[in-house]
A and B are shown apart, each in its own frame.
Chain A
């Protein structure tokens, strides 16, 4: 089945650090990838839609200068949390689909980000 790999799985760093999270589709090409954030006992909140070769589209309330998304190839999207602060601590999850509408999303295993 389709596999999405997300790395790293866990990051602890100091306030002010920038953190890069990678999301790779291992056995399929993903024209579109999605980035979600999940707080404890809350739903997955869509942050942005990432399309290969073009700028990401951010949801309202998500700072595009803080959460930099790059989708340079059909198998890799990256999310960089710039100058992270404690309030950015969360569980970040990426997903990808295989291009056809109404299909299941394939999710990475998430990145637990803790900013001290």
Chain B
């Protein structure tokens, strides 16, 4: 069956450290993978998109990698701050009844303590 697994439901780190979040998928062949941030009671906000032919993407303190052999994406936040505390969702293009749609993992809730 198809699965998207974000291995840690929760991750607690200290301010200034690098947070590394993992997304693994099974029985998908995504053309791209996206990462979103979701705050409590809010909709997801887009962070980064990486395509299947890209190994790594960066945006300010964020970095995402995509390994299609391992079927895994890693999402890094360097020099983490308490304001980075949120739930981070990975999503990929999967099949839907209408064609394709974004399919989401359950998310990892990151808590950054000062």
Contacts and interface: CB of A to CB of B under 8 A. Distances in A.
Interface of A: 4, 6, 34, 36, 41-44, 46, 49, 51, 57-60, 91, 93, 95, 101-110, 112
Interface of B: 4, 9, 31-32, 34, 36, 41-46, 49, 51, 89, 93, 96-107
A41 B101 CA distance: 21
Given A109-B43, A110-B41, A49 B106 contact: no
Given A44-B89, A107-B44, A102 B31 contact: yes
A43 B105 contact: yes
30 contacts: A4-B43, A34-B101, A36-B104, A43-B89, A43-B107, A44-B44, A46-B96, A46-B101, A46-B103, A49-B96, A49-B97, A49-B99, A49-B101, A51-B98, A57-B96, A57-B98, A58-B97, A59-B97, A93-B43, A95-B43, A101-B93, A104-B34, A104-B46, A105-B34, A105-B46, A107-B44, A108-B43, A109-B43, A110-B41, A110-B43
A70 B4 CA distance: 30
Nearest to A2: B46
Between B34, B41, B43, B106, the greatest number of chain A beta carbons within 10 A of the residue's beta carbon is seen for B43
